[in-house]
């Protein structure tokens, strides 16, 4: 049994359902343990205040002796500027002796595993934050060919965005030349049931913050990153990347 630690915004409910639902499809068994940072509005001010609570959350999960820790708020890191996931993951590794990952880093890793360079995004964020997510991914070397912002600022409401609205936003994107579609660049916006149908409809790899997080967790734990019905990333497309040496996860 592998213990997964999740550091989540207090108003987040989706990542604690989608990640377990994904990993339940794997032969390995997992348990899930969360620590929460207060955040309600997805705004620069509340994201900074939330990030300031990180050390307490990491200490709590260290007490649970988790085998891997996922900092599960993508925009909280991407809104702080390019390369923030690498800096934060390094700081957390200095605090806890375990595999350390972030949703922001997992999305980058998942796109790289697919060999995607030109991507499209659906985000729930207000436009200024969505622009920061786009800029972050472009700084990581991706070309964002088109993107959508659903303009939902209340994080609890993000967790209630219906799938047809998300899929409708994806249909409104110009996917010409895109290598992959990120149908939910947010662990709070539900999208797990949309990944496989969207791949069939659009004819290109589709991933979400949740499927990328599951991929990164499996790879970080040295497990086969293959899950049925979760899109091309978890259908074996990322196996070659998984067999490459993983980045260091323990120590400073």
Write out pLDDT tens, residues 111-164: 999 999 999 999 999 999 999 999 999 999 999 999 999 999 999 999 999 999
Report angle CA 133, 19, 31 to the nearest 5 degrees. 135
| Confidence bin at 249 (pLDDT 50/70/90) | very low
Q: In percent, how much of the chain has pLDDT > 70? A: 94
8 Å CB contact between 244 and 95:
no
Q: How far is CA 143 from CA 50, 120, 160, 237, in A?
A: 29, 9, 29, 21
Give residue 250's pLDDT: 37
* Residue 73 appears among annotated catalytic residues: yes
How many whole angstroms separate alpha carbon 80 and alpha carbon 194?
29
Q: Which of 136, 137, 120 shows the shortest CA–CA distance to 205? A: 120
R_g of the chain computed on alpha carbons: 16
8 Å CB contact between 233 and 212:
yes
| Confidence bin at 95 (pLDDT 50/70/90) | very high
Q: Is the pLDDT of residue 171 over 50?
A: yes
How many whole angstroms separate alpha carbon 47 and alpha carbon 44?
5
Pick the residue with more confidence: 251 or 31? 31
Catalytic annotation, pick one of 8, 57, 72, 73: 73
Q: Phi, psi at residue 34, to the nearest 5°?
A: -115, 150
Q: Which of 193, 208, 252 shows the shortest CA–CA distance to 74? A: 208
| pTM of the full structure | 0.91
Q: Retrieve residue 160's tokens.
A: 């209630």
Give residue 236's pLDDT: 84
Catalytic annotation, pick one of 76, 175, 186, 195: 186
* Residue 186 appears among annotated catalytic residues: yes
């Amino acid at each position: 049994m592998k213990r997964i630690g999740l550091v989540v915004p207090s108003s987040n409910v989706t990542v604690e359902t989608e990640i377990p639902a994904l990993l339940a499809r794997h032969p390995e068994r997992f348990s899930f343990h969360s620590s929460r940072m207060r955040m309600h509005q997805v705004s620069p001010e509340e994201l900074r205040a939330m990030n300031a609570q990180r050390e307490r959350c990491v200490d709590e999960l260290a007490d649970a002796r988790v085998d891997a820790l996922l900092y599960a708020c993508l925009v909280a890191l991407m809104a702080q500027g390019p390369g923030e996931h690498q800096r934060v993951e390094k700081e957390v590794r200095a605090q806890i002796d375990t595999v350390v990952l972030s949703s922001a880093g997992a999305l980058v890793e998942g796109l790289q595993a697919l060999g995607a360079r030109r991507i499209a995004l659906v985000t729930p964020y207000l436009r200024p934050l969505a622009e920061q997510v786009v800029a972050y991914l472009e700084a990581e070397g991706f070309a964002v060919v088109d993107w959508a912002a659903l303009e939902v600022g209340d994080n609890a409401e993000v967790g209630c965005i219906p799938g047809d609205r998300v899929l409708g936003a994806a249909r409104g994107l110009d996917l010409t030349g895109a290598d992959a579609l990120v149908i939910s660049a947010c662990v709070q916006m539900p999208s797990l049931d949309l990944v496989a149908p969207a791949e069939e409809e659009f004819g290109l790899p589709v991933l979400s913050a949740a499927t990328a997080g599951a991929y990164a967790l499996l790879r970080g734990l040295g497990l086969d990153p293959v899950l049925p019905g979760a899109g091309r990333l978890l259908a074996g497309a990322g196996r070659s990347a998984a067999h490459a040496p993983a980045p260091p996860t323990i120590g400073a």
